[in-house]
Amino acid sequence: MGDNVKLYNSLTRCVEDFVSIDPKIVKMYTCGPTVYGYAHIGNLRTYIFEDVLQKGLEYLGYDVKRCMNITDVGHLTSDSDTGEDKMEKGARLEGKTVYEIADFYTKAFFQDLELLNIKKPAIIAKASEHIDTYIQMIEKMIRDGYAYFSNGNVYFDISKAHHYYQLSGKNPDELMIGARDSVEEDQSKKNQADFVLWFTLSKFENHIMKWDSPWGVGYPGWHIECSGIASKYLGEYLDIHCGGIDNIFPHHTNEIAQSEAYFGHKWCNYWCHGAHLNDQSGKMSKSKGDTLTLSKLQSEGYSPLVYRYFCLNSHYRSQLVFRKEAMDIAAHSLTKLRNKVTKLDQSGKLLDEQFQFYVLKFKEAFSHDINTSQMLTIVYDVLKDGDLNDLTKYQLIKDFDRVLSLNLTVEMDEVINDEINQEILEKIEQRNQAKKDKDFLLADKIRDELLSKGIQLIDTREGTTYEIMD
Ligand code: AMP
Ligand code: ZN
C-alpha cells in the first residue's frame, strides 16, 4: 500500500519514497497553534496542507494516527529564549487571565478548522497539561549529560546533539553570530546557541502559569512541549512531522535534538514543511498584528472553502501571495465547478474500469509530493471526459472530495466580491476611453493586464463584458 508515495523530506532536502514504520499506520505529528490570538490565514494554509496530507494517506489506505499540540504556555515573544511569554502578553493586552485567553482562541481555532473542512486530529493536547512529561524527559536528559542546570534555568547542551545542524542547514558559526547579535552573551550557557528546557522563577518573577519542578517553580521551554506530547501519544518513533517552514529553526531543530537525546536514536523519518502565505508586504505573521483572519475574509464575502480552493491551486512548497483578484477567480471557479457537478444525472450504471482509472490518476497526483493542483485538474478532466457517464463522473468527484474537501457535490454560490467587480468594470471603462482616443497601445495593455490575472474581456456589439477563466 502506498509504496510509491513520494514526499519532500526537509531533513534530506530530497523527494523520497515514503515508507512508514508500520506498513498500515502512519504516525504523524503536526505543530499546533499558539493560542494568544486568532489564527491568520497563513497559519491556516499550513493546516490545510497537513489536512490534505492526512486525508491523502487515508485515501491510499493508511490509518493515520495524528497528534497536535496547543501552545498555551512557554512560547516567548522572541524565538530565542528571551522576551515575554506570548500567552501572558496576550492576557495582559486583553485584560483577561491566560486561561481565558487560551480557551477563547483555542475554540476560535477549532471553529476555523471546521469551516475549512479540516479534520480535527485524533489527539489534541494542551502544552499546559503535560508538565510531568516534560519534567521526566528533562530529568533523563540531565542524567544522560545532554542538559544542565545553570543560573536558574535548565539548558540543552547543543554540542552533545549528533546532527544539530542537519535540518536547518545552518552552520555553527552562523548560529553563534546569530546568538551574539540578538542578545548579549549569556554567561549561564555553555554554548550561546543552547536553548532552555525549563525556566524558573529566578528569571520570570511575574509569570502566572508556573509549576513545581526539581529545579524550582517555573515553566517549560517552548520546544519541549512538542517532544513531550509527541512521545506521550505516538511513542518513540514518528513517521511524519509537519509544520510551516518557519518552524525549521529553532523549533524543529530543537525538537529533534531533545527527542533524540531522550530516546537515544533517530526520532522522526520525514519532515514536511509548508511554504508561507505572504501578503503584499511580505510574510504574514501573528506578531505583525493586522493580519487576515478567516472571519475577516468571510466579512469580505469569501467563504472559507474558497480560501481552501485558492490554497489547493498551488503547491504546498511554493510561496503563495494572497491576492483578492485570485480569490475572486477561485470563488467563480468553485461555483462553476459545483454547478457542473450537482447537475450531473445520477441515474445509470457506474463504469467500474474508468472509475478505477481515474482513482489511480488521482492517487498518483497526491503521491507525487502532494500535487494538489494536479488533483484539481483531474476533477476537471473527469468532467470533460466524453467516455464517462454522469453517474461515474459524480461518484469520482464525490470520492476525490474525501481528500479535497471542497463540498464539490453541494450546490453553493460563491459571491464574487463587488469591489473587485467594480475595479474590473472601471478598467473596461478606461479601455473604452483609450479606444475612443485611438490609444490602442493602452487599450491592449489594459486587456493584457486583466488577462494575466485570469480575467478575459469579451467584446460584443452591446459592449464589453468579462469572464473569469477556470
Ligand atoms: P503559530 O500559531 O504562530 O505557532 O503558527 C502555527 C503554524 O502556522 C505553524 O506551523 C507555523 O509554521 C505556520 N505559519 C506561521 N506563519 C505562516 C505563514 N505566513 N504562512 C503559512 N504558515 C505559517
Ligand atoms: Zn511544535
Q: What is the residue-wise DSSP string for 76-95?
A: BSSSSS-S-BHHHHHHHHHT
Q: In angstroms, rounded to a whole number, what is the distance separating the alpha carbons of residues 139 and 182?
A: 29
Of 34, 38, 43, best ligand 1 pocket probe by most atoms within 8 Å of the beta carbon:
43
pLDDT tens for each residue of 91-141 = 777 777 888 889 999 999 999 999 999 999 999 999 999 999 999 999 999
Nearest ligand to residue 223 Cα: 2
User: What's 23's DSSP letter?
Assistant: S
- Which is the closest atom of ligand 1 to the Cα of 286? 3
- 286 versus 321: the higher-pLDDT residue is 321
pTM: 0.86
Q: Is 291 in the pocket of ligand 1 (CB under 6 A)?
A: no
Residue 327: C-alpha distances to residues 231, 323, 324, 333, 417 (Å): 40, 6, 5, 10, 9
**Quick one: which atom of ligand 1 is closest to the CA of 284?**
19
Which residue lies with its CA nearest to atom 23 of ligand 1?
43
Residue 283, ligand 1, Cβ within 6 A: yes
For ligand 1, say whether the CB of 378 is within 6 Å of any of its atoms: no
Interval 68-90: pLDDT, tens: 999 988 676 666 676 777 777 77
Q: How many CA atoms lie within 13 A of 345 on its CB side?
A: 5
**What is the average per-residue pLDDT within 437-458?**
87
Task: Report how far ligand 1's centroid is from the alpha carbon of 426 (Å).
Answer: 37
For position 78, what pLDDT does the model report? 66
pLDDT tier for residue 413 given thresholds of 50, 70 and 90: low
Pick from 34, 225, 246, 273 the residue to mutate for probing ligand 1's pocket: most ligand atoms within 8 Å of its CB.
246
CB 428 within 8 A of CB 455: no
Across 330-359, average pLDDT: 95
What span, in angstroms and rounded, lies between the C-alpha atoms of 255 and 244? Answer: 14
User: Among 53-57, 382-386, 464-468, which is the least confidently predicted range?
Assistant: 464-468
**At residue 270, does pLDDT exceed 80?**
yes
Q: Return the ligand 1 atom nearest residue 276 CA.
A: 20
Mean pLDDT of 390-395: 97
Which domains, from first to last, does the chain contain? Answer: 6-274 (3.40.50.620), 282-404 (no CATH), 413-468 (no CATH)
